[in-house]
Amino acid sequence: MRKRVLFCATVDYHFSAFHLPYLKWFKEQGWEVHVAAAGELDLPYVDQKFNIPIQRSPFKRKNIGAYKQLKGTIDRNQYKIIHCHTPMGGVLARLAARSARKHGTKVIYTAHGFHFCKGAPPLNWLIYYPIERTLARLTDCLITINDEDYNLAVKHGFKAKQIEHVHGVGVDINRFCPVKKFNKSVLRAEYGYKDDDFLLFYAAEFNKNKNQKLLIQALSHIKENVPNAKLLLAGEGPMLQVCRNLAEQLGIAKMINFLGFRNDVELLLKMSDIAVGSSFREGLPVNIMEAMASGLPVVVSSNRGHSELIQNGINGYTISPKNYQDFGLRILEIYQITELSKKMGIESRNKVKKFAIDQVSRELQSVYSTYMAEEINESKSKHNRAYI
């Protein structure tokens, strides 16, 4: 029987953005690769794709139908390994795979940042903590991507058969890399910016968690000292108009460029001076890792994901997500002290290397190989028993 692996998440864009190297790796090992998620993206390295209407909210009735479709898919295809991602993708896949696990299917779940964490609202703990703790019993390997989540899972007795810490989904440090001053000038000219503009960059969906209002308030706080600053905000979302209105109210609309959805983040980072991040909650943010790989100093809000990447005073600063004054002053410090900016940029590049795709690939391949080896051993045992 053909060896099959299923990757499951809420939306298929998740795989396009973060997991193509791992889909490719399974294909190279001779496995048949299936994907189950909402959406109709044409993904490379995938033999079969199932458009299953998984909803982000655990309270949506459509998830009942999604569960039934997913269970039918799992039961029909007899997967050897299922790797699920995102909260609801992880919930539905693990529930749907209960019968399959009795027949040898191994279920891996990557927690891209538990919704319950230090500083999270009590409601998150009431809803998500009991769900994750219960479903850990249906998990052969629970993968966490930051120290806080790993320690929480271990100390709170999550009953997954195995708990691992992997350094995120990996960042391509060859693609995201620093450029020389001349190349930066050329890029700025192409995008309509001046050499003496001070460019701050952040790419994220406009929602309450990403908290872009902090960045707008921080810029307003230092606008007199950094008159050549330009805050570049890439992304779309429900809070976009709120942020536009705030920029107008604070009189800094001309200092902020709302860029919308972008597929040229690599170039936008290369021409920027500093990366910023304002979210309340992160698992291990790829956008900040890409900025670090691009050799930028970073000023971000304090949360577990940012703290995993940014060491205060070394490659940037972490500030309370509610303190726009201090946030602005740290930006101003980097703006005024050129040598500090250069030093932090170099440290960012050095620190991000352990989060590089090559490193993360080795860590994940080690996890996968464990279950591949189990499958090989089980097959050999069955073969030997046939001759006894």
What are the residues facing 232 on neighbouring strands?
Answer: 201, 257
How many whole angstroms separate alpha carbon 139 and alpha carbon 43? 26
Query: Residue 119: is its pLDDT beyond 80?
Result: no
pLDDT tens digits for range 1-56: 679 999 999 999 999 989 999 999 999 999 999 999 999 999 999 999 999 999 98
Return the pLDDT at 378. 53
The angle that helices 122-135 and 87-96 make with each other, rounded to 10 degrees, is 30
Query: Residue 380: is its pLDDT beyond 50?
Result: no
Return the pLDDT at 128. 87
Q: Is 60 exposed, middle or buried (0-12, 13-18, 19+ CB in 10 A)?
A: middle
Give which of 286, 284, 86 is closest to 171, Cα–Cα: 286
Amino acid at site 324: Y
Report the mean per-residue pLDDT for the chain: 94
Question: Poorest-confidence range of 69-73, 125-129, 133-137, 292-296?
Answer: 125-129
The answer to whether domain 181-354 has CATH 3.40.50.10190 is no
What are the residues facing 318 on neighbouring strands?
Answer: 300
Report residue 69's pLDDT band, with 50, 70 and 90 as the boundaries: very high
C-alpha dihedral sign at 290, 296, 302, 307? positive
How many whole angstroms separate alpha carbon 368 and alpha carbon 80? 11
Return the pLDDT at 374. 65
Query: Residue 180: is its pLDDT beyond 60?
Result: yes
Return the pLDDT at 39. 96
Return the pLDDT at 77. 96
- Is 181-354 the same fold as 4-170+356-385? yes
How many whole angstroms separate alpha carbon 136 and alpha carbon 132? 6
| Mean predicted confidence (pLDDT) in 71-96 | 97
- Looking at residue 148, the DSSP 8-state letter turns out to be H
**CB burial readout 235-253, b (16+ within 10 A) else e:** bebebbeebbebbeebebe
Return the pLDDT at 116. 85
Return the pLDDT at 54. 96
C-beta separation of 67 from 96 below 8 A: yes
* pTM summary value: 0.90
Query: Residue 383: is its pLDDT beyond 70?
Result: no
Return the pLDDT at 59. 83
**Domain spans, the chain:** 4-170+356-385, 181-354
Report residue 388's pLDDT band, with 50, 70 and 90 as the boundaries: very low
Query: Residue 376: is its pLDDT beyond 90?
Result: no
Q: Which CATH number fits domain 4-170+356-385: 3.30.479.30, 3.40.50.2000, 3.30.70.240, 3.40.50.10320?
A: 3.40.50.2000
**CB burial readout 329-368, b (16+ within 10 A) else e:** bbbbebbeeeeebeebbebbbebbeebbbebbbebbeebb
| Mean predicted confidence (pLDDT) in 350-357 | 96
How many whole angstroms separate alpha carbon 121 and alpha carbon 123? 5
pLDDT tens digits for range 254-282: 999 999 999 999 999 999 999 999 999 99
How many whole angstroms separate alpha carbon 114 and alpha carbon 189? 42
Report residue 385's pLDDT band, with 50, 70 and 90 as the boundaries: very low
Report residue 58's pLDDT band, with 50, 70 and 90 as the boundaries: confident
pLDDT tens digits for range 197-237: 999 999 999 999 999 999 999 999 999 999 999 999 999 99
Report residue 384's pLDDT band, with 50, 70 and 90 as the boundaries: very low
